[in-house]
Amino acid sequence: MPSRRDLANAIRALSMDAVQKARSGHPGAPMGMADIAEVLWNDFLKHNPADPAWPDRDRFVLSNGHGSMLLYSLLHLSGYELSLEDLRQFRQLHSKTPGHPEHGYTPGVETTTGPLGQGLANAVGMALAEKVLAAQFNRPGHAVVDHYTYVFLGDGCMMEGISHEVCSLAGTWGLGKLVAFYDDNGISIDGHVEGWLTDDTPARFEAYGWHVIRGVDGHDAASVRRATEEARAERDRPTLVCCKTVIGYGSPNLAGSHDCHGSPLGEDEVAATRENIGWPHPPFVIPEEIYAGWSARVRGAAAEDEWRERFAAYRAAFPELAAELERRLAGDLPAQWEEKAGAFVDAVAAKAESIATRKASQNALEGYGPLLPELLGGSADLAGSNLTLWKGSKGVRRDDAAGNYVYYGVREFGMSAIMNGVALHGGFIPYGGTFLVFMDYARNAVRMAALMKQRCVFVYTHDSIGLGEDGPTHQPVEQVAALRLTPNLSVWRPADAVETAVAWKAAIERRGGPTSLVLSRQNLAHQPRTPAQTAAVARGGYVLLEPAGAPEAILIATGSEVALAVDAARRLNDRGRRVRVVSMPSTDVFDAQDAAYRESVLPAAVSARVAVEALVTDGWYRYVGMAGRVVGMRSFGESGPAGALFKHFGLTTENVVQAVEDVLAA
């Protein structure tokens, strides 16, 4: 029977061989954390390789994602659909083993990790989701939501600021089923970390309210096992297990140095390591007794079967709750969603309110919230400004997690990455708000949501210079352009309450990625629409105002500038011009429409075009052409009342009228 060290050495061998074959990668972390991983995966982790999506599985997150061969080795050895050939294709195009773990590519990979610290943040989100879902659905004698979240992380994750944001929250929330294993090897890419990381990390986590287990020998299985048992016994606080390890453990000449962090060991050192660890097998050869020692298929199937028996008992006792939990875990919307959501949009249109779109967003939550218990909202300490609270909001607390609203504090990045973890866990549609300008703090988490195709709703208010007196530090001009340039991110900047209701509906219905809602501080005029026009809002761009006769010019606008475009068009039409107004609340949704529809809205024959938006202008030239004009921002803003700012920067009816006249005269 192989020893625990033999089982761990299989990880070391596969990792160094795959990195060597690819001629790139990070062998040090997998080799250093192999012993910790062996104990966790063989003695504690509840999972079923035959069913990677089993809802009550434990979640495992490799936050230091550069050590991806650790995870790929674990998945292969324990019985997931990840073959030796897949390992041989490490870092190759279209392989199931990309350079960093990517959700959706590899069965068993819970989240995409690479940007350090975000895997840890995702794990906090997963643990939060587990706690809230358990509080909402479990009943005495029926714990159908009951699993742990385990995360591996290294010094790099600890250095990233996001670790402070999310770990502070994890302690505040009392996420007792979150267990983090800190790979304390003292090495980062540039060398020994004492030149740039000297804080007392365990004390930091104790200050966060974590249970901290210090001084664990990460190469001693018994020590790791004792620490893990202690961590699992602590149910009121998350646990940090501080494991002292040697990076590249087993390499006779490179272990303990940064030389094995991000480079192959080299053929000679690989051979020397094989001899040093007593691994006589050729590259990518795993003896059957090693596979037998690792396989989790039998115990995984037994664990899932036991849970399904418990769930059957739960369904018998609470049939409605069971059906609701299954619906939410599947990501399906309620049966009457389409009918009731459509009725809400019609009601908003009939009410014809001229209000700020941030207020319209809150009204949308009032309309949709009662239909969607899966909504888990929040704000980065701006609930009263973002208007993310609605009448049915109940705060999630340490001692009462059965709520639907999270107070994140001033943590835009942490909030967004936690939302990603919540979405990945399943059972919720998370939304979170902040000012649009502070999207920059969260930019990479928003990008990761798009990369992972997660259903998150990012609510961004105070969307332009229109917020006024807070000045250019708070006035976004370039942020929406960055959002629109992000692949697989849907962006809506609605013009009024009707477009806001439609935007929220679209965000909720979108299963293949995140949505950003860009909303105004100031009141915006209601735009009258026919029922057909109201229906067309969902297509991202539509004709809002049509002149008498065929149009000779087109005005395109979004958000607060739609009313400006309408005023300008009416003035021009009164002069005998024929100007169409197109409201385009979502460029990406419009771009996804068929060619015939896009041509009907923006006919190629009408080349005289002007776009109006109180944001940077460059992106609009794809719609107006190089001969067109864009009325917008070409600088940062200024502090002053919104009206004065719009006049100062040329966002006036007069200027828009002149721009149209100019393109018609050209």
Catalytic annotation, residues: 412
Distance CA 554, CA 189 (A): 54
* Structure token digits, residue 483: 């959002």
* Structure token digits, residue 348: 């908003």
Q: What is the DSSP letter of 356?
A: B
* Amino acid type, 85: E
Helix (H, G, I), strand (E, B) or coil at 170: helix
Terminal-residue alpha carbon distance, the chain: 85
Q: What is the DSSP letter of 56?
A: T
Distance CA 109, CA 91 (A): 15
CA pseudo-torsion sign 431, 436, 438, 442: positive
Distance CA 187, CA 159 (A): 12
Distance CA 523, CA 353 (A): 10
Helix (H, G, I), strand (E, B) or coil at 243: strand
Cβ proximity of 408 and 169 under 8 Å: yes
- The two counts, helices (H) then strands (E), for the chain are 27, 18
Helix (H, G, I), strand (E, B) or coil at 566: helix
Instruction: Supply the Cα-derived Rg of the chain in whole angstroms.
Output: 28
What is the biggest distance separating any 2 CA atoms in the chain, rounded to whole angstroms?
92
CA pseudo-torsion sign 499, 502, 504, 507: negative
In degrees rounded to 5, what are phi and psi of residue 153?
Answer: -150, 155
In degrees rounded to 5, what are phi and psi of residue 60?
Answer: -120, 125
Distances (CA, A) of 553 to 280, 611, 626: 76, 11, 15
Query: 479: part of which helix (H) or strand (E)?
Result: helix 479-484
Cβ proximity of 568 and 555 under 8 Å: yes
Q: What is the DSSP letter of 428?
A: -
Cβ proximity of 211 and 238 under 8 Å: yes
* Amino acid type, 473: T
Distances (CA, A) of 383 to 128, 237, 359, 406, 472: 20, 27, 12, 10, 22
By C-alpha distance, which of 392, 337, 391, 346 is closest to 502?
Answer: 346
Cβ proximity of 408 and 462 under 8 Å: no
